[in-house]
Amino acid sequence: MNSQKARVAVFVSGGGTNLQAILDAERSGIIQHGEICLVISNQPEAYALKRAETAGVRAETVSRKELGSQQAFEEKLISLLEEAGIELIVLAGFLSILSEAFTGRYPKRILNVHPSLIPSFCGQGFYGLRVHEAALERGVIITGATVHYVNEIPDGGEIILQKAVRVYPGDTPEKLQKRVMRQAEWKLLPAAVEIVSEKIVQERR
């Protein structure tokens, strides 16, 4: 355990491309004050778990369906986080809603990346391709991504970083999703992890 680094957990549900961006950033030294110690998925078949194992990071599955209730689900998450001494939680494509009781337990210690420039195309029901579909339906010429703190309101926490991405004629939701990931999400999320990890380390001193 490195006492000079904040201990970070990443919550995932799918392929884990944002997780990979964080792991790569830690390895390359972009993230200097954070250490990815735990990856938790709510989906046992999530490819993100394989990415964690390949990187030598502990990977766990916590299924709300199997545990039977939101409370039991969150109690299991908390016990894993406490056991691993986690100080910062990163939601990287985590498609399970966390209750106010959970988010309130970790003020300014949970980060989320959202694939639009909040407050556009955000809140309940806006996730994945739906965000990009909505942006194209609206006819915007600039979209982007936002990393924000998580509170009890979906996509409602304080913004940490944003980056704009151009929309081009002929874009499909899939094309736009890839461009926003490459140009914004995969850069912003590691940068935000470093910013908050450094704060945590400084607060310890």
Integer Cα distance of 2 and 4 in angstroms: 5
Among 152, 190, 197, 157, CA closest to 6: 197
Q: How many Cα atoms are found within 13 Å in the side-chain-facing hemisphere of 42? A: 21
Residues 6+ apart with CB under 8 A from 182: none
The pair phi, psi for residue 149, each rounded to 5°, is: -70, 150
- State the catalytic residues: 114
Cβ neighbourhood burial of 68 (10 Å; 0-12, 13-18, 19+)? exposed
For residue 178, give the 3-state DSSP assignment: helix
Distance of CA 14 to the CA centre of its chain: 12
